[in-house]
Structure 1
Amino acid sequence: MRVYVLQHVPFEELGNIQPWLEQQQAEISYCRLYFNDPLPEPADVDLLIVLGGPMSANDEAHYPWLRAEKAFLAAVIAAEKPVVGICLGAQLIASSQGARIYSNYAKEIGWFDIESVPAEGDVLPLPPRMNVFHWHGETFELPAQAILLASSEACNNQIFQLGKRVIGLQCHLETTEANARSMIMHCADELIGGRFIQDADAILSASPRHYQQLAQWMTQVLEYVVRA
Structure 2
Amino acid sequence: MSRTLTVIAHVDDPSMGILESSAQSADWRIHVVRPFRGETLPEPGNLEALTVLGGPQSAYDTARNPYLKTEINYLADAHRRAVPTLAICLGSQLLAEALGGRAMPGESGLECGFIDVTSSVAELPLQGRYFSFHSDTALPPAHAELLAESSCYLQSWRIGGSLAVQFHPELDTAGIEALLAIEGDKLAQFSVDVGAIRNEIATALTSPSPGELLLDAWFAALPGVGTERLLDSSL
User: Same-fold call, TM > 0.5?
Assistant: yes
Is the contact between residue 49 and residue 84 of structure 1 (CA under 8 Å) also seen in structure 2?
yes
Q: Tell me, yes or no, if structure 1 residue 71 matches structure 2 residue 73.
A: yes
Partner of 1:141: 139
Which contiguous aligned blocks of 4+ residues in structure 1 show a shift greater than 4 angstroms? 225-228
Offset, 1:208: 3.2
State the distance in 2 between where 1:193 and 1:109 align. Answer: 12
State the distance in 2 between where 1:159 and 1:145 align. Answer: 14
Pick the aligned partner of 1:53 from 47, 52, 55: 55
State the distance in 2 between where 1:32 and 1:93 align. Answer: 17
Partner of 1:126: 125
Offset, 1:198: 3.7
State the distance in 2 between where 1:36 and 1:144 align. Answer: 33
Offset, 1:24: 2.9
Distance 1:22 1:126, change over 3 A: closer
Offset, 1:189: 1.6
**Structure 2 counterpart of 1:181, which letter?**
E
TM-score by length of 1: 0.88
Q: Tell me, yes or no, if structure 1 residue 36 matches structure 2 residue 38.
A: yes
Alignment of 1:106-121 (within 5 A): 106-116=109-119, 118=120
Pick the aligned partner of 2:220 from 217, 223, 227: 223
**Structure 1 counterpart of 2:158, which letter?**
Q
Pick the aligned partner of 2:195 from 197, 201, 210: 201
Partner of 1:158: 155
Which consecutive residues of structure 2, in runs of 5 or more, have no partner in the other structure? Answer: 229-235
Which consecutive residues of structure 1, in runs of 5 or more, have no partner in the other structure? Answer: none
Offset, 1:144: 3.2
**Structure 1 counterpart of 2:167, which letter?**
C
SS at match of 2:117: strand
SS at match of 1:53: coil
**Structure 1 counterpart of 2:116, which letter?**
D
Q: Tell me, yes or no, if structure 1 residue 172 matches structure 2 residue 174.
A: no
Offset, 1:23: 2.4
State the distance in 2 between where 1:21 and 1:221 align. Answer: 10
Instruction: Report the number of matched residues.
Output: 219
Is the contact between residue 97 and residue 144 of structure 1 (CA under 8 Å) also seen in structure 2?
no
State the distance in 2 between where 1:208 and 1:224 align. Answer: 28
SS at match of 1:49: strand
SS at match of 2:183: helix
State the distance in 1 between where 2:18 and 2:45 align. Answer: 26
Offset, 1:12: 3.3
Pick the aligned partner of 2:188 from 170, 183, 192: 192
Is the contact between residue 173 and residue 201 of structure 2 (CA under 8 Å) also seen in structure 1?
no
**Structure 1 counterpart of 2:162, which letter?**
V
Stretch moving more, 84-93 or 209-218:
209-218
**Structure 2 counterpart of 1:130, which letter?**
G
Q: Tell me, yes or no, if structure 1 residue 210 matches structure 2 residue 204.
A: yes
